[in-house]
Chains A and B, each alone.
Chain A
Amino acid sequence: MGFMLANRFGQRVKELRIIYSALKHFETEIAYGLTPLPNAFRNIADRIDEPICKVFTHMSQSFGQHELTTTDIWTNSWELYMQDLALKKCDYDILFQLGHGLGQTDKENQLKHIGISLAYLQTEEEEARNEQHKHEKMYKYLGFLTGMMIVILMI
């Protein structure tokens, strides 16, 4: 139990890391390739690790339906995989914020939006790392101690 909780903190750091690099890729796709979103998301999905790559694959496949807006596609995809991810609400806030202007403005504006999200993600990641260090040990000890206690009690 304790180990699982501790793992969750580590997992969040890892996921934030992947999202950060995904957005970095996204930035280059827009800046140098002017790649349209469906293709850009597919390229990103090919280059990043699980579990985030699932989200981007899903996004790139959702563009066929005409009545969905770009923001819907972005938000829905993240919500679909929320269960599998260790991200917190504040992380999703950053992502959804980015989803609002997605694809609707010119290149410079898009890059600015992504830049802002990247900066937020970085602070978020640092915080997550601190938390990880602080809590990981505690949860591990706690888990270990509870285990010991159960063993002692049983004896």
Chain B
Amino acid sequence: MWPKEIEEILPKTIQSLLSNANNIEKNNIQEIRLRILKPLEICFTSNFSYLSKGGFTNDISKAYITSFDDCKQILQIISNHSMYAIEEQLRQGYITFAGGHRIGIVGKVIVDNGKIRTMQHVTSFNIRIAKQIIGVATEVMPDLYDSVRNRPYHTLIVSPPQCGKTTLLRDIVYSFSRGMPRIGIPSHKVAVVDERSEIAGSVHGIAQADLGPRTDVLDACPKAEGMMLLIRSMSPQIITVDEIGTAADAIAIDEVLHAGVSIITTAHAFNLDELIERPIMQEMIKKKIFDRYILLSNNPKIGTVQGIYDRNRLKLSARRVFVG
């Protein structure tokens, strides 16, 4: 479905170009990329094209050229005419807006003491359309719940970028929060540390994505600190964080385990072998912290579950055959 919020932040000129474009193709848009004085690029799930007067085209000479005013207007709209209000987001390089969609921005960076202070003269925008697909986790859910000890497994989703990692995580959160009585999973108290406002896509602290009725979101909080805070304050049964990898994360996860809370998290990697090459991940895998690994890939399509592995990194289906 083509989200209305996207159109609202685009300048009138681009809005009218998009309204001429093919509706079916519009639904497949993943990214809209604007670069100053360059052709306007539209990325679909597997290919890209340019936007022109007659809709989508691959002919670069017909493409609409993003003007200086377009960039200025977008910035004005997303900042609500108030650059000072989005300073923190500018420093991070992206802004989340209504609907949970995100705009990545680059321009001239002003540095202060070796840290990014702010960004000026924004020249490129990448509007990433957030998709919540309720039900993507349904098929993996039975493997994520320990029906003997009645608790969710500690789970790590392993995936290359852009393979639907966050989408899956979001749906797992939703499913645990609602519970799935049909397959014997009760509803849980879930807490999410959403450091990059990606899982919930919060705007002014309000989650734009539906994470279920029993989910608390700690927005924009650093992961390690956030996990500790949630244990103390919200007494969750499950804690979810996105993209772990630092030493501080590992320590915090240890703490979570000792508090008897289940952890569901993700990491960037193309496969388990690659993951184990990263020292911190290696240590965690060796300690057998995670009971389940879900490996995602974009082959044949985004979000394909390549396999679910147990704590010894044995493929579950294979083990079933072995046991059976």
Contact = CB atoms under 8 A, between A and B. Distances in A.
B233 interface: no
B73 A103 contact: no
A67 B73 CA distance: 7
Given A66-B73, A69-B76, A70-B76, A110 B84 contact: yes
Contacts of A30: 84
A67 B12 contact: yes
Contact of B85 (A35, A66, A67): A35
A113 to B, nearest CB: 11
A35 to B, nearest CB: 7
Contacts of B38: none
A137 B11 CA distance: 56
Interface string B1-27: 000000000011000000000000000
Q: How would you classify the secondary structure of chain A's contact residues: helix, strand, loop or mixed?
A: loop
Interface in A67-83: 67, 69-70, 73
B75 to A, nearest CB: 9
A103 B83 contact: yes
B80 interface: yes
Residue from B12, B81, B117 with most neighbouring chain A CB atoms (10 Å): B81
Interface in A29-55: 30, 34-38, 40
Interface residues of A, number: 21
Interface in B57-95: 72-73, 76-77, 79-85, 87
Contacts of A103: 79, 81-84
Contacts of A105: 83-84
Interface string B112-135: 000001100000000000000000
Interface string B245-282: 00000000000000000000000000000000000000
Residue from B12, B72, B77, B85 with most neighbouring chain A CB atoms (10 Å): B85
Contacts of A40: 82
Interface in B178-196: none
A104 interface: yes
B82 A36 contact: yes
A105 B76 CA distance: 11
Nearest to A69: B76
A77 B81 CA distance: 16
A36 B85 contact: yes
A67 B77 CA distance: 10
Contacts of B83: 103-106
A3 interface: no
Given A66-B11, A66-B12, A106-B87, A37 B73 contact: no
Contacts of A20: none
Nearest to A31: B84
Interface string A104-119: 1111011000000000
Interface string A88-125: 00000000000000111111011000000000000000
Contacts of A109: 84
Contacts of B73: 66-67
B77 A70 contact: no
A63 interface: yes
A117 to B, nearest CB: 16
A63 B81 contact: yes
A63 B80 contact: yes
A107 B77 contact: no
A105 B81 CA distance: 10
A34 B84 contact: yes
Q: 6 nearest interchain CB pairs?
A: A36-B80, A36-B82, A107-B84, A37-B81, A70-B81, A103-B81
13 contacts: A35-B82, A35-B85, A36-B79, A36-B80, A37-B80, A38-B80, A63-B80, A67-B73, A69-B76, A106-B84, A106-B87, A107-B87, A109-B84
Interface of A: 30, 34-38, 40, 63, 66-67, 69-70, 73, 102-107, 109-110
Given A69-B72, A106-B83, 9 more contacts: A30-B84, A34-B84, A34-B85, A36-B79, A38-B81, A40-B82, A63-B80, A66-B76, A105-B84
